[in-house]
Amino acid sequence: MFDLSYWNEFDFIAGIVYFIIAVILSLKMSTKRMFFFLLSIFHFFITLYYWSYSLTNVADSTMYFETTKYTHLGWFDIFGPDTSFIRFILFPFLHFFNLNYLGAFFIFSTFGLLGFYFLFRVLLVIVSKNNYKWLYVLFLPQLHFWTCALGKDSLIFMQMSLLLSLWFFNKKLIYYLLPFAIIGFVRIHISLLMVVGYGIAIFLLDSKKISPFKKVLLVGVFGGIFMALFPYLADRINVNNVMEIVEYANNESVKYVSSGGSSVDLSSSSLPIKFFSYLFRPLFFDIWSFLALEASVENLFWLYMFFVVSYSIFRDKKYYSINKFNVLAPYLVAMIIVIPMSYALSNLGIAMRQKTMIFPLLFHLFIYYKSYKNRLRYE
């Protein structure tokens, strides 16, 4: 068996390339360049830690590497959705550039770094001067732990942050196609849920930014995407209709219970309990490791962030009336993703890493509201 701790000059070059990209991205910032560069360094060291951690602990990263490194298939022979797509992305780096396990980590860590870059660009526009302190939340270790690894989460985080950036800066719809397609190939159900969430936001809001014609056009486009992707989702999980998907999700929640020490049996719990557990656990009353202890500290912030964002939408009528579509659309997309995911999963370890994909949506809303309140205070 290949020694996963082995590395060569090509892996070293991959690490150098990471830092070159980090410098370029930092210089592209309008302000807070040193802040972002320090964030890049922090992300790099978390990458090294996760790589070392995965050498002696069970991790999906080793599976992705070994099944791609030792495949007898060609590059395009392994193309497909889900796990196959990660292997497809990884294949040229292993077989054409001769990278090893560490080098593969640097590649996917760069994807995560790009995710922080796209998110940071949005935050710099909306953050007020007296709220820069909240940007230090980006140094939460779990955020980097799950977005630096060889696997789905770093790629999903990058695409979600990119979509947020495209939406925030009002880019043309054509630019959305690639990141949306990548999300679909990695986790097709997430792309479907995003379509549903954004579609609901369009119908709920009488936004001056969206003309009736554009609403109809968008709904038609999203509806077409939904109808096109649904058969692939149904085929992948072997179901034929929506009710069977609900049954499938229920069965999956039981299956995940047996998948490791980070599991908590929530199969008989109510949806609100599952929702709370997915977003905010582990907390201090259900810790099984040092990582879970650290995660419980971070989840206190998740709890606070969710409360602030929800309050801004449902209780602060003045703020909501001014920013309707800007705040409700990303909030709905996040919630439409979380609710079915929390229903289907009982494994807190899986939830800890998967919820990073909605962090860009919620955190930018958190900063948005905090900056709004700060401006009111000083006007």
pLDDT, residue 105, reads 96
CB 130 within 8 A of CB 86: no
Which residue is associated with the tokens 């014609």? 213
Q: What b/e readout covers 142-158, taking b as 16+ CB neighbours within 10 angstroms?
A: bbbbbbbbbbbbbbbbb
Q: How far apart are CA 90 and CA 76, in angstroms?
A: 12
CB 114 within 8 Å of CB 165: no
Residues lower than pLDDT 70 in the chain: 1-2, 205-211, 214-215, 218-219, 221-223, 225-268, 288, 345-348, 379
Question: Looking at residue 247, what is its pLDDT?
Answer: 47
Pick the closest to residue 236 from 80, 347, 76 (CA basis): 80
Of 368, 325, 334, 99, whose CA–CA distance to 218 is shortest? 325
Residues 6+ apart with CB under 8 A from 126: 364, 367, 368, 371
On whether the CB atoms of residues 269 and 362 are closer than 8 A, the answer is no
Amino acid 343: pLDDT: 77
Tokens of 4: 């996963």
Residues 131/371, Cβ–Cβ less than 8 Å: yes
Q: What is the DSSP letter of 28?
A: T
The pLDDT score that the predictor gives to residue 204 is 73
| Sign of the dihedral defined by the CA atoms of residues 9, 45, 131, 159, in that order | positive
Q: What per-residue confidence (pLDDT) applies to 226?
A: 62
Sole residue written with tokens 């497909």 = 80
Contact 108, 149 (CB under 8 A): yes
Question: pLDDT digit string (tens) for 141-158?
Answer: 999 999 999 999 999 999
CA–CA distance from 248 to each of 189, 238, 241 (Å)?
A: 13, 9, 11
Q: Indicate the domain borders of the chain.
A: 1-185
What is the distance, to the nearest Å, from the Cα of residue 351 to the centroid of all Cα atoms in its chain? 11
Q: N- to C-terminal Cα distance for the chain?
A: 65
Give the pLDDT score at 255. 43
CB atoms within 10 A of CB 322: 11
Q: What angle do CA 179, 18, 190 make, to 5 degrees?
A: 25
Place of tokens 């040229």: 92
* Residue 154 confidence (pLDDT): 96
pLDDT at 330: 92
The pLDDT score that the predictor gives to residue 230 is: 60
Cα–Cα distance, 343 to 350 (Å, whole number): 13
Say if residues 279 and 296 touch (Cβ distance below 8 Å).
no
